[in-house]
């Protein structure tokens, strides 16, 4: 059991942190998870205590984010952490159409593929997402900007802006997304809604670096990656349902709902 403990992480939090964790966990896996999340997010004892009251933090597989630091309600922050995954499969994007030499064109191509398959993208995102629009126009002090994809999530009661990037994660993407979220909150968000949330969705990312880069921004943001079917091992590709069969199934479901 001792060999499973990361020594640096174990010594990286205080005795008070350890006492909070031991009182709220049931096994060594939960202990190690709580220690790791505490170190990564730099939670103080009181933040950790508040988080543990709502349940054990989300395990690996959630997107690198700054939700705890930027969303006032801890319960709301935990919901956001568990809502967004660190990776999504977009198997309807044909990578052969993407030319890395023309980044702007290629990002628009990915966006068009998602919009064309918006039902499947929403199913990939998870529950309670509603599509608001793509290239959503924002303007402040005469400056115009366009958010790639804008959604509303009923569970979070918040707008969710997704910025698409075809390459590796860059910290500059967060600055761009921060500006969009600021205008969304000032000009679009309704008084009863929670602060808008942003996700950078890129082809690849160093998760530890993304976690480090996002933590000092004051708007709720996360970083996720996507894979196309071509990125999956061939043996796994054969286990996926045929795309045409999925389309037929979705059309049948839609017909059933309209009857």
- Quick: pLDDT tens for 113-130: 888 888 888 888 888 999
Tell me what percent of the residues of the chain surpass a pLDDT of 90. Answer: 41
What mean pLDDT is predicted for residues 198-213? 93
81 touches 58 (CB < 8 A): yes
Closest C-alpha among 200, 227, 163, 202 to residue 66: 200
179 touches 218 (CB < 8 A): no
Identify the helix (H) or strand (E) that includes residue 135.
Answer: strand 129-140
Rounded to the nearest integer, the mean pLDDT of the chain is 83
Which comes out higher in pLDDT, residue 148 or 110?
A: 148
CA dist 79 and 74 (Å) reads 9
Question: What is the pLDDT at residue 109?
Answer: 78
115 touches 93 (CB < 8 A): no
pTM of the model: 0.70
What DSSP line would sit under 31-98, residue for residue? HHHHHHHHHHHT--HHHHHHHHHT-SPP-BTBPPB-HHHH-S-HHHHHHHHHH-BSEEE-TT--GGG-
Question: What is the pLDDT at residue 182?
Answer: 97
257 pLDDT band, cuts 50/70/90, is very low
Which comes out higher in pLDDT, residue 31 or 91?
A: 31
Residue 84 in this model has a pLDDT that exceeds 80: yes
Question: What is the pLDDT at residue 228?
Answer: 79
CA dist 188 and 152 (Å) reads 12
Residue 232 in this model has a pLDDT that exceeds 70: no
């Amino acid at each position: 059991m001792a060999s499973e403990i990361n020594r640096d992480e174990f010594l990286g939090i205080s005795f008070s942190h350890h006492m909070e964790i031991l009182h709220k966990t049931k096994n060594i896996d939960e202990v190690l998870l709580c220690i790791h999340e505490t170190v990564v997010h730099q939670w103080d004892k009181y933040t950790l205590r508040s988080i543990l009251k709502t349940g054990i933090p989300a395990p690996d597989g959630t997107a690198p984010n700054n939700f705890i630091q930027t969303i006032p309600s801890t319960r709301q922050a935990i919901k956001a952490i568990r809502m967004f995954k660190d990776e999504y499969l977009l198997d309807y994007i044909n990578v052969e159409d993407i030319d890395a030499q023309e980044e702007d064109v290629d990002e628009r191509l990915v966006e068009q593929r998602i919009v064309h398959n918006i039902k499947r993208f929403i199913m990939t995102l998870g529950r309670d997402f509603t599509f608001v629009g793509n290239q959503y126009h924002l303007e402040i002090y005469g400056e115009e900007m366009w958010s790639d994809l804008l959604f509303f999530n009923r569970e979070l009661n918040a707008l969710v802006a997704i910025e698409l990037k075809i390459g590796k994660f860059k910290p500059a993407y967060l600055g761009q997304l921060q500006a969009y979220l600021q205008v969304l909150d000032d000009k679009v968000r309704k008084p009863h809604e929670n602060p808008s949330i942003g996700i950078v969705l890129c082809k690849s990312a160093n998760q530890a670096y993304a976690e480090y880069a996002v933590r000092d921004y004051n708007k709720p943001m996360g970083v996720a990656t996507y894979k196309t079917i071509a990125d999956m091992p061939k043996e796994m590709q054969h286990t996926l349902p045929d795309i045409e069969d999925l389309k037929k199934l979705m059309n049948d479901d839609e017909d059933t709902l309209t009857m």
